[in-house]
Structure 1
Amino acid sequence: MKYIFLLIFSINIFSLEAQRFIDHNSDSLKTKNTFLKSSIVPLSMITVGIIANNSQFEKDLRDDIRAKVGNDFQFRIDDYFQFAPIVEMYFADALNIKAKNHWFDQTKYLLISNLITSVITKGLKRATLKTRPDFSSNLSFPSGHTSFSFTNASVLMHEFKDSAPVLAYSGFFFSTTTGAFRMINNRHWISDVLVGAGIGILVTELVYYLEPLKNFNPFKKNDNINFLPMIDQNSKGFYFSYTF
């Protein structure tokens, strides 16, 4: 069990330091080199993941993890933690914690980021046809859970890093734990997780740099609308209300 928590802690520290590096350079937002600077860390994660892909190292790591937790170990917290940064963001909005953008713009950038990330992730899965460590399918590379969760965490970070840093960076605890448990549950190799995380961060950085559909917000001048996530074991959706 110490091995599991060490793995989660190590990946989490790496992702937090990565985002602090990005945040450190964010003061020069919209300058020529901003996106290039913010892309260094996720590109490095993708590069390391590609190098580790199908290597003896990741096979040995998989065997070590299974030896520690047991071949029958399953704890599907990764199926839920991937959504945690989204829940955090909308509840912070409900509590009127100052964010970078209006809730509609947050949702807009969240959806755009996840759409692009999903297209890239699914495209790579079908192009590489890498077998999962549990042999359940040949759609292992990269990890969809991880790319989705790191996209969500990156959106949360961008929205609250100036007003609530603890909240902003807390999403990376959930995304890192998601990635770690994809390996612990024998669903993904470490290269799948690293590349998935890198894609999620990189795509979100690009979306917040370009700010697509920046001026499209039909709700910006309307304070009578509430929008909150609704997630339980059986369903996922959103609560929407309008006060007359």
Structure 2
Amino acid sequence: MQLPGIRPVFSLLASGLLLSQVARAQAPTVPDSVRSVPPRVTTAAVGQVSWLRRPALWRVAVPVTLVALGYVSRNENVLDEMKEEVNEETREHFPHFRTSIDDYSRHLPVWGAYGLYALGVKGQRGVVPFTVCYGLSHALSTSIVSNLKRLGHTQRPDNPADFSSFPSAHTAEAFMTATLLHEQFGRDRPWVSVAGYSVATATGAMRMLNNRHWVTDVLAGAGIGFLSAETVWRLYPVAARLLPRTMGHKLLLLPAYLPGGSLGATLVVR
């Protein structure tokens, strides 16, 4: 999958800012002489401001903003100065930090999900739909990350000759698996969500402590992972309804071990 570029990201942000300005301009005002009288709230006025309170808007706007800011920070500007300052502070306080735990912790939330399945814990969906969502989310996240790495062409803090810093693939994978864990088991069990996102956050922190990524790379990776999982999770029921009912009896799911130690799955149609 080829990305059309970063322009759609800024178009979305610009549209959001424009809508906020329109909503602010159209908000009803009350003269000073009648401020003691509660203003009459109309349906139209409520509609103009209620969209700001929609969780779905923020669940998209915040991750997209993190990705956009990370992309902008690759140039010489205030964001670039900020990420370099954070890196300098990190290296000053943790000069000898080295670990490979982040290579494994990015997969820990999805391993936790299968562990809960093994213990008989009931989730929102069955193990096969969950695995399909995991495979599709991983493919989407990996594709976005690889294309942005090519477009961003950002130097790594520990190796100026390596231009694959933005965004962080480890962090994207960690937040993708944590979001799937949350959707599958965390709705009724908040501790599961807290555990999953804590592991994802720790993975991003370790990428910075290992001096492999800038803070903007990590934040962008978190946004990509979250959006990839949410997109697939929301669209899966729609796609499943479009498949023939007999298709479910013809599917065979097999575990697969990918290069680099990654765990995946192969879906076979019999």
TM-score range, shorter chain: 0.7 to 0.9
RMSD of aligned C-alpha atoms?
Answer: 3.0
Q: How does 1:131-170 map to 2 (within 5 A)?
A: 131-135=155-159, 137-170=162-195
Superposition deviation, residue 228 in structure 1: 8.3
- Of 64, 68, 77, 2:101 maps to 77
**Distance in structure 2 (CA, Å) of the matches to 1:161 and 1:114:** 20
Q: How does 1:224-243 map to 2 (within 5 A)?
A: 235-237=261-263
Whether 2:148 is the aligned partner of 1:118: answer no
Percent of matched pairs sharing the same residue: 31
Whether 2:218 is the aligned partner of 1:181: answer no
Partners of 2:71 and 2:166 within 8 A in 1: no
Partners of 1:94 and 1:226 within 8 A in 2: no
**Distance in structure 1 (CA, Å) of the matches to 2:205 and 2:187:** 28
Partners of 1:39 and 1:202 within 8 A in 2: yes
**Distance in structure 2 (CA, Å) of the matches to 1:100 and 1:134:** 42
Partners of 2:66 and 2:220 within 8 A in 1: yes
**Distance in structure 1 (CA, Å) of the matches to 2:129 and 2:58:** 24
- Matched with 1:214 is 240
**Distance in structure 2 (CA, Å) of the matches to 1:120 and 1:147:** 10
- Of 110, 117, 120, 1:86 maps to 110
Whether 2:220 is the aligned partner of 1:195: answer yes
Superposition deviation, residue 119 in structure 1: 0.3
| Gaps in structure 2 of 5+ consecutive residues | 1-53, 266-270
Superposition deviation, residue 44 in structure 1: 3.5
| Gaps in structure 1 of 5+ consecutive residues | 1-32, 240-244
**Structure 1, residues 147-191: CA drift from partner, whole Å, max 9, x if none?**
111100010010012332211331111110010110110000011
Q: How many residues align?
A: 202
SS in 1 for 2:248: coil
Q: How does 1:1-80 map to 2 (within 5 A)?
A: 35-54=56-75, 55-70=80-95, 72-80=96-104
SS in 1 for 2:240: coil
Partners of 1:126 and 1:139 within 8 A in 2: yes
**Distance in structure 2 (CA, Å) of the matches to 1:166 and 1:230:** 29
- Matched with 1:14 is none
**Structure 1, residues 19-68: CA drift from partner, whole Å, max 9, x if none?**
xxxxxxxxxxxxxx774343133223324434544511110110111111
TM-score, normalised by the number of residues in structure 1: 0.73
**Structure 1, residues 51-96: CA drift from partner, whole Å, max 9, x if none?**
54451111011011111111x4312221111011011000001111
**Structure 1, residues 185-240: CA drift from partner, whole Å, max 9, x if none?**
000001100111001111211112211642567379xxxx9988999xx955479x
Q: Which has the larger radius of gyration?
A: 2
**Distance in structure 1 (CA, Å) of the matches to 2:166 and 2:262:** 25
Partners of 1:82 and 1:174 within 8 A in 2: yes
Structure of greater relative contact order (alpha carbons < 8 Å, 6+ residues apart): 1
SS in 2 for 1:218: helix
Partners of 1:90 and 1:229 within 8 A in 2: no
